[in-house]
Amino acid sequence: MADQYGLTETDLDPGLDGHDFPAVRMASNASPRLLEALLSHGWQLSPFYRPDNLGLAMRYGPNAYMDGRVDGVYDSPLLRAIESGQLTNMGILLRAGADPNGQSIRSMYEYGKRFARLSYRNAGIQDNDLNLQSNVQVDRNAAAYTGKITKAEVEEGPARFWAGKKFPPPLLGAMNEAMTAIEMAARKGSIEALRAILTAGADISFWLSSPPSPPLVLSHSALSVSSPLHAAIEERNTEMLKELLMCSFNPNLLPLGAHISCLSPLMTALACEPPNIEACEILSSEGDIDMNLRSPVYQIHALHIATAQLSVSLLQYLSGKLPLDRAGKTALGHTLLHVACLPLEPSEINQSSSLITSSITRVRTLSRQPLSRSSCSSRTSLSSQVDTVNYILSNSHCSVVEQDELGNTALHYLASYADLNEPLIALLRSSENDRSHSWNTSRNQRGHTAEELYFDGKNNATVEKDRRATESERRNGRGGVWRGRGWGIG
């Protein structure tokens, strides 16, 4: 009987073995007729059909949510149709009753918990409060999500200077991001899809609110760890960005669903690789843009993000709109000078010195990939670092002697590198604003000066190099006596 509708056994497979649900698969099919047939008759034609099996029946309908709790896959027919560019299928799904949000609120909640600073349960929210129809009223203690940084958060690491240690949470197996249909439309640059979803009544309430503040209702938009603006900027969909701003999306939006890592749209544009200057121009031309907005918890300013790129031209571009001194300090006590001197990744930190590894817990990378202690593809350009520091010293009141919340100066960070930037260390040591000789007088919370980190790192690196050479000799079976520094091995 399925033949008369053009549906095959494969089309009707309910996906019990971990495959996608039938409606999700069919949403990307180039034949709208088959999607219509599946939505109308698929469940009745399924070999698993039972009138009382509502769980399986859902897999053949317009809201066949794959909620990620089992295999980490967050998807729906509406999301799949937009992602694959099948906008006729998108229209069919919306007319058939698809939720224009494209994702269950349960999925947004479950995924967002991985980015939360606190457990939602700690803020008076219970898991069983959530269902597909209702929003969740939030205890007013939810403001603690974005409150002042704690001592434990200051000391945790390794972590980025702009985010918490838990970021990014690991994607397990086939896990993907949980996002709304509007975010998918923004990512794909489909203005047609955006307009259709808005017309259908998708929730965008939090993305329009100004100023951004912890929500009292956890709607789809409030639970999202990103936003359509961020998606358009990251994918460099300029026309989509303009369309969203015309629809009154807040240019100062902070996606507070990701308490430990959220950045504003402007910061996101600056963090792109390479920086999305076109988006910066569009955003900065908005009359209500707040160029001095800071992220919650870590108190990051757009100038801190720009500095992390080690690009003088980028800082020159921004300084035409913002004096560098507007940056001030982050919640971790980092000035622009600290940020410029941070190691890019843990792999750049001299791992052979326990003094260094116990002192240096923050890195400069703007990447959202997991941090790695092994070698990474990108490295700090020593010449760009020198140029950036020179520009900061010449155009701001940043001082070499300033210590962050862990007591580290910029020189502490420079002394931590496996590959030392000797010219920059010499430059800062001879700097006019280091007359107190912080190199060998300023001690961090571990009790170490930059000079002590520098020499301990160099000495231990030499020992480690000799040890590896000895192991190599042994593996090669050359025998003999090795008389490297610190070793006497026969």
384, 344 Cβ separation under 8 angstroms: no
424: confidence class by pLDDT, cuts 50, 70, 90: very high
Model pLDDT for residues 272-313, shown as the tens digit of each residue:
999 999 999 999 999 899 999 999 999 999 999 999 999 999
| End-to-end Cα separation, the chain, in angstroms | 82
112: confidence class by pLDDT, cuts 50, 70, 90: confident
Angle (CA) 210 216 217, round 5°: 100
Element (H, E) at 413: helix 410-414
416, 356 Cβ separation under 8 angstroms: yes
Q: Tell me, what's the pLDDT at 384?
A: 97
For residue 455, pLDDT beyond 80: yes
Query: Environment class of residue 231 by beta-carbon count within 10 Å: exposed (0-12), middle (13-18) or buried (19+)?
Result: buried
Angle (CA) 143 148 149, round 5°: 125
Distance CA 318, CA 327 (A): 11
Q: Tell me, what's the pLDDT at 141?
A: 46
Q: Tell me, what's the pLDDT at 277?
A: 97
Beta-strand relationship, 74-75 and 66-67 = antiparallel
For residue 78, pLDDT beyond 60: yes
Residues of the chain by 3-state class (helix, strand, coil), percent to 5? 45, 5, 50
Query: How does the average pLDDT of the chain come out, rounded?
Result: 87
Q: Tell me, what's the pLDDT at 228?
A: 98
Kindly give, in sequence order, each residue whose CB lies less than 8 Å from that of residue 39, ignoring residues fewer than 6 positions away: 23, 60, 61, 62, 92, 93, 96
Cα torsion through 33, 35, 38, 41, rounded to 10: -50
For residue 415, pLDDT beyond 60: yes
Over residues 390-403, the mean pLDDT reads: 96
For every residue of 350-379, DSSP letters joined together read -TT-HHHHHH--EE-----SPP-SS--S--
Whole-angstrom Cα Rg for the chain: 27
pTM score of the predicted model: 0.89
For the chain, give the number of residues. 490
Closest C-alpha to 190, from 86, 286, 38, 99: 86
82, 304, 473 from 348: Cα distances, Å = 41, 20, 26
Helix, strand, or coil (residue 178): coil
Residue the block writes with tokens 């690789």? 273
